[in-house]
Amino acid sequence: MKKFLLPILFTGVIILTAFNASAADTLTTANGIKYVSLKPGNGVHPVSMQTVKFVYARRSETGRLVESNELGKPISFKVDKNNFIDGLDEIVKHMSEGEKFYCIIPPHLGHGKKGVDGHIPPDATLYYYIEILAVE
């Protein structure tokens, strides 16, 4: 039980202190993705089959940077084309162009029971910072 609570408490501290958000600012989708908007966007939300250009940083449950493209070339994908994890397809529909989210994606919307061999363990919760640069 302690092993399970530590990441949740740490994540809560990051959200509440680093970004001056309150518990009331944390929202949850119907599928269980928890998120906080860190920077507002322009109100243009992507819809199915639109292209989204974004940058991201994935962190470990302890807050350590695991991977990022924030300093590199943005990634583009079509919403609902299953190019990435289900959680990414879902969360970008809650975002607008220019908006930045911190989100916690549960395992069933990430890489599930398989994980990614040598990179992401099975049943891993994913912690992402995502910023939509453009909706086309």
Ranges of each domain in the chain:
2-135
pLDDT at position 60: 86
Q: In sequence order, what are the beta bridge partners of 107?
A: none
Query: Which residue has tokens 């529909």?
Result: 93
Task: Report in angstroms the alpha-carbon separations of 35 from 22, 72, 73, 83.
Answer: 12, 24, 24, 21
Task: State the pLDDT confidence band at 95, using cuts at 50, 70 and 90.
Answer: very high
Q: How confident is the model at residue 119 (pLDDT cuts 50, 70, 90)?
A: confident
Q: What is the mean pLDDT of the chain?
A: 84
Tell me which CATH code domain 2-135 carries.
Answer: 3.10.50.40
8-19 pLDDT, tens digit per residue, is 434 444 444 444
Contacts of 106 (CB under 8 A, 6+ apart): 31, 32, 33, 87, 125
Residue 41 binned pLDDT confidence (cut-offs 50, 70, 90): very high
> Model pTM?
0.80
